[in-house]
Amino acid sequence: MHLLAGDGPSAPLPAKDDAPAILDRLAVPPDDAAEIMAGWPDPGSTLWTPELRWLLDRSIALVRADLGGHGWLSPGPELPRDRGPAWRHLYVYAYLALVDVVRGYHRDHGIADAVSWKTLADLGRNLAVDRRMRGEGWPVMQSWLTLHARGGVYELGRLQHHRGDDAIGLHVPDSGPLTPEAVDASLDEARAFFPRHFPGERYTAFSCGSWLLDPQLLEYLPEDSNIARFQQRFELAPYEEQEGIDADVEVLRFVFRTLTTPLDRLPRRTVLQRAIVDHLKAGRHWRWRIGRFPL
């Protein structure tokens, strides 16, 4: 909490009457949009204690103070979300307050509004994941979404591209097949995008950290599968356990959107689903691997 205690510039939420249209542009599902509107921090709302309003303001200020940053950032503490929509969606309200702020940052860098909205609409995708997982997704996602709100991540075609030091980090959203053609198009778009909009940054490689790069997958998947062909692009770093990352959890989160369903009850409709379940039932574990390839 000490990180939230300092003074700094905050930002207002959009007008409540404008919020439904903004939530729609951010691809927020109707059930989540209804909750967000029900918990809106109106003046005098009994849902919002002075302490909660202070936390919202400080969270907005904390993220805004790092506008243009591309490191991982927690916007604040994990909250008891069962206390109602104000608590459940506090970091959504912070995100909404920062939409115009980060769009201004994008405009200053010559980034098209269509790219801004497509990137920021990852909010809706992650809220849908969280609802499907009944709250088990959001504590992870609230830090992830500060990257979007600061101009650290851009969705260009099939992949999300994360500004870094010497490499552009690749993230794979749940948005359709990971075909080689779609990946190629996204990489080509990024090769043009970053020199144009961030000419002071010099990148020499694309990088990725993911369970998708675990070579153990090749024991189960065809060599011409999309995942296998995605892996073939990368030179992997020697395996090291990553602090704070449990690859088994990340696989279950991404592939099945559940962390509590017993393995015997998980679906087995695809080759990937069967691979994940069989591997874990055999007492084996998935690994989070890091790789890169030249830009």
Distance CA 149, CA 96 (A): 9
Residue 2 clears pLDDT 50, i.e. is over it: no
pTM of the model: 0.94
Q: What is the mean pLDDT of residues 150-157?
A: 98
Which of 224-228, 240-244, 254-258 is predicted least confidently? 240-244
Residue 4 clears pLDDT 80, i.e. is over it: no
Q: What is the mean pLDDT of residues 58-85?
A: 94
Q: 227: closest CA among 191, 251, 243?
A: 251
7 band by pLDDT with thresholds 50, 70 and 90:
low
Start-end of CATH 3.40.630.120 domains in the chain: 180-294
Could you give the C-alpha distances from 102 to 115, 119, 147, 150, in angstroms and in order? 12, 11, 10, 6
Amino acid 1: pLDDT: 40
32-62 tens-digit pLDDT: 999 999 999 999 899 999 999 999 999 999 9
185-224 tens-digit pLDDT: 999 999 999 999 999 999 999 999 999 999 999 999 999 9
Amino acid at 218: L
Could you give the C-alpha distances from 144 to 162, 176, 194, 232, 236, in angstroms and in order? 11, 20, 20, 26, 24
8 band by pLDDT with thresholds 50, 70 and 90:
low
Residue 6 clears pLDDT 50, i.e. is over it: no
Residue 9 clears pLDDT 70, i.e. is over it: no
Fold for domain 180-294? Aminopeptidase (3.40.630)
